[in-house]
Amino acid sequence: MAKYFGTDGIRGHFGTKPLTVDFVLRVGNAVGKSLLKKGDTVIIGRDTRVSGDVIESAVAAGLQAVGINVQFAGIVPTPAVAFLVTKYKAQLGIVVSASHNPYQDNGLKFFNAQGGKLNDAEQIAIEDHIDSELVTLQGDELGTAFRMLTPQNDYVNFVLASVQRLNLDDIKVVVDAGHGAMYKVAPRTIEDLGADVSTIGIAPDGKNINQKCGSTDTKNLELTVKKLKAEIGLSFDGDGDRLVVVDHLGESVDGDELLFILARHAHQQTPLTGPVVGTSMTNMGLEVAFKDLGIDFVRASVGDKHVLQKLAETGGKFGGETSGHLICLDHATTGDGLTAAVQILKILRESKLSLNELKKGFVKYPQVIVNVKVDEKKLAISHPKTQAVLAECQQQLGNVGRIVLRPSGTEPVIRVMVEAESAGLTVKLANEIADTITLLGL
């Protein structure tokens, strides 16, 4: 059982235990003691949150105290750190971010030397050292610290290299960077491809990240795309590892639909040899659509780390989550919103079809997700009353629907997901389960 690590790294409300300055210092120290050796290098990037500077400094101090060298990448997307670690042959990458959460939250994500997420054993090794005594070396045994010169340029060039010779001269694109880590690199990348780019969400002030913008709230992007008569709108979350798109009709296109477009296009070029990987929350309609196309599909636990692990086990290239985590292993080592975006733009160009047309062939099952605030998440799910109502609702669905209860790894909520052929039934059953859990008072 992890004490500090959640679905994706360590995350919490900064200034509230455990996520305090002294804790972050201990995390840095623990990483250096458990996974690295004196003289190794760690690259640190961050998003635009006001607490980013403080956390960046604290984790770096903990690392340097045990002889680890630090290179600061500054404000860059999460996938940029994964790439920079491999490009500059660092031993580890750390991202200071709370992804799609509000600005009051922050946290730490980690990448290994291959640009992938840490495994469970590595996370446990870090946790085993967090609460131990701090180690501080002396004199020239301390690690050094440097600011990287061209981290954003390096990342932009990396993304552009995945779509060589793509020309978007007559395509109008709206980019919503969510006032987050993509606020400079995303518009620049799309402009470099020749598109006519308009922007929203590119004025971070440390507190407006993900605020009524970005991949978690596309209303403004939808209106802007329709107003400007753009072909497509691209929406990123605070740290840039998620992508949600808006089509020319102003309709939001989620991660399941984008995964369908990416995988089907690749399969049409050369039949896929491995499965596409989704999660327990992936819409059942995607599984049906891939079956009709002769594409294998498997599910992993929620979290892009688990999707990546399943891809490695099965030899697949494409994976993702409904929320917009999209993994294209032929181009990136982790979920990368900008890399996925340029691949979608390439398909748009080559197919000469609209995004609305490209997503046809995938019919979503009606799906409802209700978030229930609970402190004791695991106890609430295992409670006899919860299990009883769950069994009763599943019996009503039979074999033509699914129910998933999932404790959030980043928030004090349980996500109640119900899918069925009947939209009315999904709402009814989801509310019954949510009300039962709420009344437990846990």
pLDDT in tens, 195-237: 999 999 999 999 999 999 999 999 999 999 999 999 999 999 9
For residue 2, pLDDT beyond 80: no
Contact by Cβ (8 Å): 155, 88: no
For the chain, what is the mean pLDDT?
A: 95
Could you list the beta-strand ranges (E) of 308-425. 318-320, 326-328, 367-373, 401-407, 413-420
For residue 409, pLDDT beyond 80: no
Asked if 99 is an active-site residue, the reply is: yes
pLDDT the model gives residue 281? 86
Same fold, 10-149 and 255-358: yes
State percent of the chain over pLDDT 70.
Answer: 100
**3-state secondary structure string, 105-170?**
EEEEEEECCCCCECCHHHHHHHHHHHCCCCCCCCHHHCCCEEECCCHHHHHHHHHHHCCCCCCCCC
State percent of the chain over pLDDT 90.
Answer: 87
Task: For residue 385, give every residue at least 6 positions away whose Cβ sits within 8 Å of its Cβ, in sequence order, or none.
Answer: 436, 439, 440
pLDDT the model gives residue 182? 98
- Spatial CA neighbour of 77 closest among 45, 104, 124, 44: 45
Structure confidence at residue 398 as a pLDDT band (50, 70, 90) = confident
pLDDT the model gives residue 135? 96
Structure confidence at residue 349 as a pLDDT band (50, 70, 90) = very high
Distance (Å, rounded) from C-alpha 307 to C-alpha 324?
13
pLDDT the model gives residue 254? 95
Strand, coil or helix: what is 33?
Answer: helix
Q: Is 86 exposed, middle or buried (0-12, 13-18, 19+ CB in 10 A)?
A: middle
For residue 401, pLDDT beyond 90: no
Q: pLDDT tens, 130-150?
A: 999 999 999 999 999 999 999
| Mean per-residue pLDDT, 17-33 | 97
C-alpha separations of 23 from 29, 52, 62, 294 in Å: 10, 15, 10, 49
Structure confidence at residue 70 as a pLDDT band (50, 70, 90) = very high
Q: pLDDT tens, 351-376?
A: 999 999 999 989 998 989 999 999 89
Dihedral class, residue 384 (left if φ above 0, else alpha if ψ from -120 to 50, else beta): alpha
Q: pLDDT tens, 294-324?
A: 999 999 998 888 999 999 999 999 999 999 9
So what CATH class is 10-149?
alpha beta
Assign domain 255-358 to its CATH architecture. Answer: 3-Layer(aba) Sandwich (3.40)
Torsion angle of the four alpha carbons 392, 393, 396, 400, in this order, in degrees rounded to the nearest 10: -130
Q: Judge: domain 367-440, CATH 3.90.280.10.
A: no
Q: Which of 51, 99, 162, 235 is catalytic?
A: 99
C-alpha separations of 361 from 128, 270, 285, 287, 292 in Å: 49, 19, 10, 12, 9
Contact by Cβ (8 Å): 71, 122: no
Q: Where are the domains of the chain?
A: 10-149, 154-251, 255-358, 367-440
Contact by Cβ (8 Å): 245, 234: yes
Q: Which of 38-42, 240-244, 347-351, 423-427 has the lowest mean pLDDT?
A: 423-427
Contact by Cβ (8 Å): 77, 239: yes
| Mean per-residue pLDDT, 64-71 | 98
The listed CATH number (3.40.120.10, 3.90.1300.10, 3.20.20.450, 3.40.640.10) that belongs to domain 154-251 = 3.40.120.10
Contact by Cβ (8 Å): 406, 306: no
For residue 1, pLDDT beyond 70: no
